[in-house]
Amino acid sequence: MEPIIECVGIEKWYHGVHALKAVSIKIMPGEVVGLVGDNGAGKSTLIKILSGVHPPDAGQIKLDGKPIRIRSPKAAMKLGIETIYQYNSMVPTMSIARNMFLGREPLGLHLGDIGILDKRRMARESVSALANVDLHLRSPDAIVGELSGGQRQGVAIARAMHFKSRLLILDEPTNHLSVKETTKVINFVQDLKKQGVTGLFVSHNMQHIFQSCDRVVAMSRGEIVFDSPIADTSIDALAQFM
């Protein structure tokens, strides 16, 4: 089986700082991989490259075994790579439905790319997408800024699943959430396989990684220093490499 995504020898420099050093990683279809490491380990740089924010300086990215270049976040989305960031995955002043279809708005009457938003379809499909992740909110017209942190992450995950994202990157999705909301987000991650979505879960919290992932990868100083199935390791063993 081909990896859904593979990085081969990825290098990245920032003004003389060697942020990534020959990073190679494979993520298989249906797998949820946990990515851990201290601040400055290179996690954020790697996911920004995978999500099209920054290009690598060297190395290669493959999708389904074929070399690709991810030139922008929009290009990443078209390839089926969706990233949920800790803070800015949602526009707080917009409704749930508008956020669900941000950048992918369906049009009713239209001429070319200019037309009237199909708000009924947006509302209908938003409710269905939320229900698919067991998230039941009062209305698709509710403003995202009025939702809790866990609910916002749920909406972002529902959006990725609705648009059939193949690889979902979650960047510290449980930061600053209550225990109850954290549990809900962990449940979302655990359910990715049922939805046919491959996951890359970035977190400082190793307990959360071990609860929800199949494999754990640790980075330190721009390099991958540990890679093991969760079933074959422990938090104590992983901590020795951190």
Helix (H) or strand (E) holding 58: strand 58-63
- Using one digit for the tens of pLDDT, what is the confidence trace for 92-136? 899 999 998 887 887 776 666 677 888 899 999 999 988 887 888
| Distance, CA of 37 to CA of 145 (rounded, Å) | 30
Find the DSSP H helices in the chain: 43-50, 73-78, 96-100, 119-132, 149-162, 179-190, 206-212, 235-239
Greatest mean pLDDT among 99-108, 128-137, 185-194, 225-234 lies in 225-234
> Which residue in this structure is represented by tokens 């909406």?
155
Residues 224 and 27: beta-carbon distance below 8 Å: no
Please give the residue range of the domain that contains residue 225: 5-239
Q: What is the mean pLDDT of residues 164-192?
A: 85
Looking at the 3D structure of the chain, how many domains does it have?
Answer: 1
Question: Helix, strand, or coil here: 167?
Answer: strand
Backbone phi, psi, residue 9, to 5°: 60, 40
| Distance, CA of 199 to CA of 217 (rounded, Å) | 13
Q: What is the mean pLDDT of residues 168-173?
A: 90
* Torsion angle defined by CA atoms of residues 110, 111, 113 and 118, in that order, rounded to the nearest 10 degrees: 0
Q: What is the mean pLDDT of residues 61-70?
A: 95
Please, what is the angle between helix 149-162 and helix 119-132, to 10°? 110
Residues 160 and 82: beta-carbon distance below 8 Å: yes
pLDDT at 88: 61
pLDDT at 148: 84
> How large a percentage of the chain has pLDDT more than 70?
96
How open is the CA angle 199-72-51, to the nearest 5 degrees?
20
pTM: 0.85
pLDDT at 195: 80
Q: Answer whether residue 194 shows pLDDT above 90.
A: no
> CATH number, domain at 140?
3.40.50.300
